[in-house]
Amino acid sequence: MRLKLATAALIAITATPLAATANGEVNIYSYRQAYLLAPLLTAFTDETGIKTNVIFARQGLAERLEREGRNSPADIVMTVDISRINELVEKNLVADLQSDIMNKNIPENLRHEDGKWFALTTRGRLIFTSKDRVKEGEISSYEDLADEKWKGRVCTRSGKHPYSIALISSMIAHHGEAQTQQWLQDVKSNLARRPQGGDRDQIKAIAEGFCDVALGNSYYFGNMLMDENQRPTAEQVNLVFPNTDDRGTHINVSGISLTRSAPNRDNAVKLMEFLSSDNAQRVYAEANSEYPANPLVQPTGLVAEWGEMVSDTLSLQEIANNRNAAVRLVDRVDYDN
């Protein structure tokens, strides 16, 4: 399936210079890779006749929008992680959008109160455990990671990574800074090794016996299962959806924003509304092993096989607002050292 999507991307999306104004077009700056967008954008063009143009970058899109200012050709920014989304808000690069369709399709906690961003998909920050060395039910919450029983058995990526900062920010929202600092210190005391690598590396570390428990985003696990070379490693771990019995699992999002400069505003809004629709949500989420942001759309494929994820309903904007406090805590406990 991934090969087909990638091929479609080469045909449907080209990273060519974008015209500042063009009738019947919408220009997109994207942190999401082209093959994930291609089927959706092709369907949008088929339905509306509106052409889509995409510039993909791994980083630096906020800085690019700042440089271009009011002359930017970008109508839409598609992002991953609430911290990158909030960067656009803080730099005043995105516009308010009041759309009845978007407000109906996307829950309140997954959008900015003024419509400066909307989630399109969500992913859970899960706990991965060794199938051989951790019994089912032995760990069930983020708070459990601080238990002394896990001393020398936990792996994580850097505490400064945006995914880690978002989780810590959510802990601050639920427990306050003092309690979260103690939790973070205790998790550090339980680490099997210095924080390093990405989420896939945490799964590999469990498979290789470096640790028994790790944190990671759900979609990385799904992507590993769809890769025949990585599947044997992924199959050595179990998934735990933390805090199912209380507040729910911490989630992060991929999102979309309308730029302040948007030369093709009407077309951009049409695309945003299209991407929040049932069919588009289903395709977009399945392409990357994520969950639809639209609550009326059920997960499909691998994600559906994992069972229901009870999601924390905490506002993602509140998590973003706690970011600086979370960074201070990581420094205070010297987590990465």
Q: What is the pLDDT of residue 330?
A: 98
Q: What is the 3-state secondary structure (H, E, C) of the chain?
A: CHHHHHHHHHHHCCCCCCCCCCCCEEEEEECCCHHHHHHHHHHHHHHHCCEEEEEECCCCHHHHHHHHHHHCCCCEEEEECHHHHHHHHHCCCECCCCCHHHHHHCCHHHECCCCCCEEEEEEEEEEEEECCCCCCCCCCCCHHHHCHHHCCCEECCCCCCHHHHHHHHHHHHHHCHHHHHHHHHHHHHCECCCCCCCHHHHHHHHHCCCCCEEEEEHHHHHHHHCCCCCHHHHCCEEEECCCCCCCCECEEEEEEEEECCCCCHHHHHHHHHHHCCHHHHHHHHHHCCCEECCCCCCCCHHHHHCCCCCECCCCHHHHHHCHHHHHHHHHHCCCCC
**CATH number, domain 125-249+317-332:** 3.40.190.10
CB atoms within 10 A of CB 194: 12
Q: What pLDDT is attached to residue 32?
A: 86
User: Sign (positive/negative) of CA torsion 278, 281, 287, 288?
Assistant: negative
Residue type for position 10: L
Predicted pLDDT of residue 173: 97
- Give the residue extent of every domain in the chain: 2-122+251-305, 125-249+317-332
The owner of tokens 């970008």 is 74
Positions of the chain with pLDDT lower than 70, given as ranges: 1-23
Q: Do 2-122+251-305 and 125-249+317-332 fold alike per CATH? A: yes
Class of the CATH-defined domain 2-122+251-305: alpha beta
Please report the pLDDT score of residue 56 as a whole number: 93
Q: Write down the pLDDT at residue 33.
A: 81
pLDDT digits (tens, 9 = 90+) for 185-229: 999 999 999 999 999 999 999 999 999 999 999 999 999 999 999
Q: Which of 153, 146, 156, 139 is nearest to 180 (CA)?
A: 146
Per-residue pLDDT, 7: 33
pLDDT at 4 (0 to 100): 38
Q: What is the pLDDT of residue 18?
A: 46
pLDDT score recorded for residue 3 = 33
